[in-house]
Amino acid sequence: MNVQLDKTVNTKLQQEIQARMVAKNLSVAGLEKKAGLRMSAVRNILRGQSKRPSAEILQAIAKTLECSITDLIGENSEKSSTSTSEKKSTVRLEYPDVLVSSTQVITKLLEDKERQLSLHQVLDLIEQVYLYSSRNTQDHHIDMKFAEWTVERAI
């Protein structure tokens, strides 16, 4: 199945659903079925006919696409003056050795599972493991259970 990105979608929600469907190689009908939604629930969102889908529908879509509702709808820029990229850039690299170890662990786990993710996905995994290990372990060593869980959740 070759799922194409529809260039006519224009809201953040529509764009995120569409992009994540492509990444998971899911059709609209496939997403609706896998999420346990009625036929046309996702289709109506993508066509702009459902401008305010219920929380239950968004939760089912997010769960199936393995993301959060916030990932789908994004931040409201009117409510927050700091963009996501600006927030991420405020994370300081305090432990370069933890970053190197995080990179090595994530790369090895992905190789072992014979999975290839996008560069953005891999960097996100590395960042999650780095942040967790540098904040939640006393000796700043990589928590392998957390790293494995993070990779499993992403693939």
| pLDDT tens per residue across all 155 residues of the chain | 444 444 444 688 888 898 888 888 889 999 999 999 999 999 999 988 887 888 899 999 999 999 888 888 875 433 333 444 444 556 678 889 999 999 999 999 999 988 888 888 899 889 888 888 887 767 878 888 888 988 888 77
67 vs 26, 82, 98, CA distance in Å? 15, 22, 26
Q: Helix, strand, coil % (nearest 5) of the chain? A: 60, 0, 40
Model pLDDT for residues 45-72, shown as the tens digit of each residue: 998 888 788 889 999 999 999 988 888 8
Classify each residue of 115-126 as buried b or exposed e, where b means 16 or more C-beta atoms within 10 Å of its C-beta: eebeeebbebbb
Domains of the chain, CATH where assigned: 12-75 (1.10.260.40), 85-154 (no CATH)
Q: What is the distance between the alpha carbons of residues 114 and 72, in angstroms, rounded to a whole number?
A: 28
Q: What is the distance between the alpha carbons of residues 54 and 94, in angstroms, rounded to a whole number?
A: 42
Model pLDDT for residues 122-136, shown as the tens digit of each residue: 998 898 888 888 877
**Neighbour tally for 111: CB within 10 Å:** 10
- What is the DSSP code string of 74-117? ---TTT-SS-HHHHHHT-----HHHHHHHHHHHHHHHHHTT---
Residue 77: the pLDDT is 37
Residue 90: the pLDDT is 61
Q: What is the pTM assigned to this prediction?
A: 0.46
